[in-house]
Structure 1
Amino acid sequence: MTSSTSNARVAVIGAGLAGVRLAQRLGGAAVLIGEEPHAPYNRVLLADVLAGRYGPEVIGLPAAPGEFLRTRAVRVDRADRLVHCADGRVVRYETLVLATGSNPVLPPLRGLFAPDAHELPRGVHPFRTMDDCLALSDAIRPGVRAVVIGGGLLGVSAARALAVRGAQVVLTQQGDRLMERQLDPAASELVHRHLTELGVEVHTECRVRGVRQVDGAVRSVELADGYLLGTDLTVLACGVRPRVGLAQAAGLDVRRGIVVDDELRTSDPHIRAIGDCAEHSGEVRCLAAPALEQADALADSLLSPDSARPYSGTRALTRLTLHTGRPGSAPLDLAAFGDPEPRPDDDVVQLADATRGTYRKVVVRGDRLVGGVLLGELGTVGALARAWEADDPLPEDDGSPLLHLLTHDGGL
């Protein structure tokens, strides 16, 4: 164990998307602290690594200038502005940025943990880190039975990847539809159909009660009605929870996440927070697009404090591509943003083509685009993204700005 002290204008704890983006923008002014043994990578693409579409090295993030400490931050001394690390190193900061990310939620399933156990039993895998991805990849064989618990964005991505690798996949979702946070019912049904065509068995409104072990390995998943699903691999995709332990121990204001204002400042004026761990205006987003937008906003604030604009919330789209893995087959592209559920006075346009498996819906409030979902061919996503991110009035086109946005590429 070494013992040395580094001085940094900005110390960034967390080498995920948000932390690395900020360090890149700040140049040599930042010291980046990351605890994973791997070089920083794009977590959004882990499902493509699991599916065999990319090798782990392909999703690596560009190296940030400045010092990178591959160690774990264990304590923040706010009085002296010091970060103490597990390997004995100490970083003195002017500004500290917490980009500590989130941890997977481990559901309270009966039989998951023995009374004296502190690790997951064999055959059970979270799906959050590169180590999780590599462990799952090593365990996959054609014909392996896999149960994915959770039908959100992460669960859908994991189920697709496992199916592409030849596993027999069952996806269980407690809610009444897949990806209910991002999609409306019609779009969820298209995703459901796409997974079914891949061979995934999808169960919605399905609560998992527990797991059963044989010789220390989980071999079946028990549903609320008592039905047992045989399994060799059980993937936990039940959401994530902000990592706030460092902030709590340092006495910062923490609710669900680390509370920040429009300057992304915590209750300590010398400490900021961005990404999955941050709670802004009562919301914890835990998605890549908001994390990158917060990193950019904070970089602008630190580099040019007099001209930077306050962060007011994300204006970015969530995008996902589901590949079938079959030669010649088309992937299902998805983009979702804002609130796809309209209020009574909102204007809505929906265009669907069941034959081509495409669906487009946008919601306009007054003259502003406030939400939408697109699946299938995304020729219109560029125009929609610009209108959404700019938050500008929609252009008029023969009295129908909605149709202009949805059909500028020639229609469905």
Structure 2
Amino acid sequence: MTQKLKLVVVGNGMAPGRMLEHLFDAGDAYDVTIFNAEPRVNYDRIMLSPVLSGEKSFDDIIIHDEAWYKDNGITLHMGAKVSKIDREAKTVTSENGITESYDKLVVATGSDPFIIPCPGHKLDGVLAYRDLDDTNAMRDAAGKGGSAVVIGGGLLGLEAAAGLNILGMDVTVLHLMPTLMERQLDTAAGYLLEKELESRGIDIRCKSNTKQIIGEDGKVSGVELDDGTLIKCDIVVMAVGIRPSVQLAKDAGLEVNRGIVTTNGMQTSDPDILSVGECVEVGGMVYGLVAPLYQMAKVAAAHLTGPSDAAFVHTETPTKLKVTGCDLYSVGDFAEGDDREDIVLRDAKSGTYKRVIIQDNKIIGAVLYGAVDDGGWYNEMLKSGEDISEMRDTLIFGQAFQGGGAVDPLAMVANMSDDAEICGCNGITKGTIVSKINAMGLTTLAEVRAHTKASASCGTCTGLVENVMALTLGDEFKLPDVETMCSCTTHDHGTVRRMIKAKELKSIPAVMQELEWNTPEGCAKCRPALNYYLVSDWPGEYVDDQQSRFINERVHANIQKDGTYSVVPRMFGGITTPDELRAIADVADKFSIPTVKVTGGQRIDLLGVKKDDLIPVWKDLNDAGMVSGAAYAKGLRTVKTCVGTDWCRFGTQDSTGLGIKLERLLWGSWSPAKLKLAVSGCPRNCSESTCKDIGIVCVDSGYEILYGGAAGLHIQGTTKLGNVETEEEVLEYCGALTQYYRETGFYLERIYKWADRLSYDHVKSVIYDDAEQRKTYYERFLYSQTFAQIDPWAERVQGAEAHEFSPLADLSSLEAAE
């Protein structure tokens, strides 16, 4: 058996990860060891912006999980930054003392953020924006509220500003140049982008130069500009550029200029050392976008597998902004000059702008804002050098209007060459996708993503990839089923939740207008969902729309099959008093209520209440000090308890007292679906904690927190979140878990379905493993509860007496839907 060569890779970013994929596809010639300065696996750095804004989690952007490294026999040293390369001994040593020998070495140290060396740049609260740690630091800061200053109006700066804005911070962007993203956009597109971001509440200040960062007690408190302007803030994010990380290579004696100098075969001045990624200088250029880095990866892999003529070739790479609702695309050379001409289309009403730059009847650049679908088409012609003279008059209208009329999207794809780039992020061509589909029998978008990476990064090319699949597979291709909220919209719940936050939509009409609802008023499916999302996302700002609730929630009672209602007063933790029991008995006698039943949730149900009697029944129960049990609610129903240490000889903790505290904490909160809790005083589990949405089992050392159980049509046991020692911790963990569910769950999605969708490991990592995130969600829950814990019976009784609101008004569509 042939002895394998030893390959050591310094760095675990996207470029070396892609290189290894190509290397493993070609064979099994190397034992691979990776040194990663970060304490984690490889992830998609270009998707950090949606992680910052909360649209994605870290698990969503992992490229290679731990199983991938194991399956490929890779030794991965995480949290091991390399400090020395010994070229004579052919060894690599990390700061934590790990030394590995190599036959071949790949240096992929990436880049370092540039920090302006102004006074105050080392204060606590000055952050960069390059990796997951930076992203988490910004999320932690945003969880405490306050304001942020972002220095830099380029791609990263604007993505950071948009994410912090979505998280609720007041954000100011400082940019030295007259317009935003001046390297990627012309003045007109930069202006449109500025106006869009300002409309979201982001303060944009171009032509602003930072003089110093002000601090108090070692922490950021503001930024002073050259003109004397002082902007107060809690954090400063530096996003003014990156520099290739070359010190390690320089210390090793490799040739270094702006970056680590390589041949077009990615070989450094040492024939046994290659380099890929943002640290590289090839052909006199350094690169920061992912498409050229992936080309480097492919070339390096080819040379590692044997003699190869594979060579890196510079191509223009499109720029896209990863900010929800901001569509822009630019590629090529868009500077003005006498030897070129512009074709421009502006539509002020729709906020769109298109500019194509032509030289010698060939496209040399394009800038699109608002309408970007034709970006790939323009880029293909730019790379091919196609003569556009015959389509000169219609060029600006896009590919669909060539030949005098609209063109079928599939025909557009059919006319693309095999070399046409479909996925710019990953450099995937039409020919690559077609060949993989035919060779491997791929039929789903998920399969194409897994085997080609097309649309697996930013996702903007998904529609184009689907068209390639439809053209290749014909009738065998079916678009994936997207379960929309209802027939009123093409959006699913996840999209609507994201866009409500991203666009700061704070009313149902605003959502329907901005997301282009196809019915003016919505329906009985979407209006309650939208009402919940707005209540959850904008506590204290959005006013609950009673007309968008089902009849049970409007009248605060459950309608029965004979048209009467069931009224359930709340009994915190299942505990009641003789006075409450007398009040219930008096109400039953007074209103001739035919059935009084003890429920499975340890409460008393008054069944058969006439519709006209609801308000006086509420009033009498209110007068006795009782509040609604919310047995009708998409929210907290009950907290079931056993007697615990007060009476039971097996009890280990005060389960009843804890159950009462939990119910008093959580009552009145709306959630995506009903929420039932239980606290059992010992592992004998008399309160059935192991089949509830959230369950607590008292043990000798404290409390075991469980969640995700179900005991209805679907039967499922709970999953353990973790153990805590005190009641205060139980309240914090349960409040944080509830808030995370409230903010990320889909309407009518029970907590076990929500956890299945997000993954139980992910929920545990957010709520149990990350103290800062848990604290943030708990604080947000407490804040939202200041607007929630108003007894609806008392509120509605007062309103009815004042003739301000009639909770009994008929809403037949919602009643029928319920």
TM bucket by the smaller chain? 0.7 to 0.9
Of 390, 396, 402, 1:399 maps to 390
Paired position in structure 2 for 1:81? 90
**Superposition pairs of residues 228-239 of structure 1, within 5 angstroms:** 228-239=230-241
Paired position in structure 1 for 2:302? 300
Of 17, 37, 42, 1:20 maps to 17
Is 1:104 equivalent to 2:89 in the alignment?
A: no
Residues 66 and 8 of structure 1, relative CA distance in 2, 3 Å threshold: farther
Relative contact order, CA 8 A, sep 6+: which one is greater?
1
Which range moved further: 186-195 or 56-65?
A: 56-65
- Secondary structure of the structure 1 residue equivalent to 2:33: strand
Higher strand share: 1
Paired position in structure 1 for 2:195? 193
The alpha-carbon deviation at position 366 of structure 1 amounts to 3.2
The alpha-carbon deviation at position 15 of structure 1 amounts to 0.9
Greater Cα radius of gyration, structure 1 or 2: 2
The alpha-carbon deviation at position 377 of structure 1 amounts to 2.3
Residues 181 and 302 of structure 1, relative CA distance in 2, 3 Å threshold: same
The alpha-carbon deviation at position 142 of structure 1 amounts to 7.6
Residues 87 and 110 of structure 1, relative CA distance in 2, 3 Å threshold: closer
- Secondary structure of the structure 2 residue equivalent to 1:264: coil
Paired position in structure 2 for 1:316? 317
- Secondary structure of the structure 1 residue equivalent to 2:63: coil
Find the aligned partners of 1:341 and 1:377 in 2 and give their Cα distance: 21
**Superposition pairs of residues 264-275 of structure 1, within 5 angstroms:** 264-275=266-277
Find the aligned partners of 2:91 and 2:358 in 1 and give their Cα distance: 48
The alpha-carbon deviation at position 202 of structure 1 amounts to 0.5
What letter is aligned with 2:386? L
The alpha-carbon deviation at position 289 of structure 1 amounts to 2.3
Paired position in structure 1 for 2:360? 366
Question: Deviations 1:229-254 (Å, cap 9, x if unpaired)?
Answer: 00012111121111111101001111
Find the aligned partners of 1:402 and 1:336 in 2 and give their Cα distance: 21
Higher helix share: 2
What letter is aligned with 1:69? H
What letter is aligned with 1:394? E
The alpha-carbon deviation at position 89 of structure 1 amounts to 3.1
Is 1:11 equivalent to 2:8 in the alignment?
A: yes
Find the aligned partners of 2:277 and 2:36 in 1 and give their Cα distance: 14
Q: Confirm or deny: 8 A CA contact 1:7 1:91 kept in the other structure.
A: no
Tell me the number of residue pairs that the alignment of Structure 1 and Structure 2 aligns. 389
Is 1:69 equivalent to 2:77 in the alignment?
A: yes
- Secondary structure of the structure 2 residue equivalent to 1:107: coil
The alpha-carbon deviation at position 304 of structure 1 amounts to 5.9
What letter is aligned with 1:88? G
The alpha-carbon deviation at position 406 of structure 1 amounts to 4.8
What letter is aligned with 2:344? Q
Which range moved further: 36-45 or 9-18?
A: 9-18
The alpha-carbon deviation at position 350 of structure 1 amounts to 2.1
Q: Provide the alpha-carbon RMSD of the alignment.
A: 2.4
Is 1:408 equivalent to 2:399 in the alignment?
A: yes
Q: Percent identity?
A: 33
Residues 407 and 127 of structure 1, relative CA distance in 2, 3 Å threshold: same
Question: Deviations 1:245-290 (Å, cap 9, x if unpaired)?
Answer: 1101001111111112212222212222221111122222222222
Paired position in structure 1 for 2:665? none
Is 1:254 equivalent to 2:256 in the alignment?
A: yes
The alpha-carbon deviation at position 312 of structure 1 amounts to 2.0
Of 208, 221, 232, 1:206 maps to 208
Residues 214 and 311 of structure 1, relative CA distance in 2, 3 Å threshold: same
Paired position in structure 1 for 2:541? none
Find the aligned partners of 1:98 and 1:155 in 2 and give their Cα distance: 27
Paired position in structure 2 for 1:3? none
4+ residue runs over 4 A deviation: 6-9
What letter is aligned with 2:320? R
Find the aligned partners of 1:371 and 1:257 in 2 and give their Cα distance: 27
- Secondary structure of the structure 1 residue equivalent to 2:400: coil
Find the aligned partners of 2:12 and 2:254 in 1 and give their Cα distance: 21
Find the aligned partners of 2:279 and 2:249 in 1 and give their Cα distance: 10
Find the aligned partners of 2:323 and 2:393 in 1 and give their Cα distance: 27
Find the aligned partners of 1:145 and 1:122 in 2 and give their Cα distance: 15
Q: Confirm or deny: 8 A CA contact 1:379 1:409 kept in the other structure.
A: no
Find the aligned partners of 1:161 and 1:298 in 2 and give their Cα distance: 35
**Structure 2 unaligned blocks of 5 or more:** 407-818
Question: TM-score, normalised on structure 2?
Answer: 0.45
The alpha-carbon deviation at position 201 of structure 1 amounts to 0.6
Find the aligned partners of 2:373 and 2:120 in 1 and give their Cα distance: 48
**Structure 1 unaligned blocks of 5 or more:** 1-5, 113-119, 324-330
Of 159, 164, 173, 2:166 maps to 164
- Secondary structure of the structure 2 residue equivalent to 1:183: coil
Find the aligned partners of 2:5 and 2:214 in 1 and give their Cα distance: 50
Find the aligned partners of 2:384 and 2:397 in 1 and give their Cα distance: 17
Find the aligned partners of 1:363 and 1:90 in 2 and give their Cα distance: 53
What letter is aligned with 1:400? M
The alpha-carbon deviation at position 220 of structure 1 amounts to 1.0
What letter is aligned with 2:190? S
Residues 367 and 22 of structure 1, relative CA distance in 2, 3 Å threshold: farther
Residues 235 and 247 of structure 1, relative CA distance in 2, 3 Å threshold: same
Question: TM-score, normalised on structure 1?
Answer: 0.87
Find the aligned partners of 2:400 and 2:107 in 1 and give their Cα distance: 42
Question: Deviations 1:192-241 (Å, cap 9, x if unpaired)?
Answer: 11110110111111000101111111101010011110001211112111
Residues 227 and 342 of structure 1, relative CA distance in 2, 3 Å threshold: closer
Which range moved further: 187-196 or 134-143?
A: 134-143
What letter is aligned with 1:318? T
Paired position in structure 2 for 1:339? 333
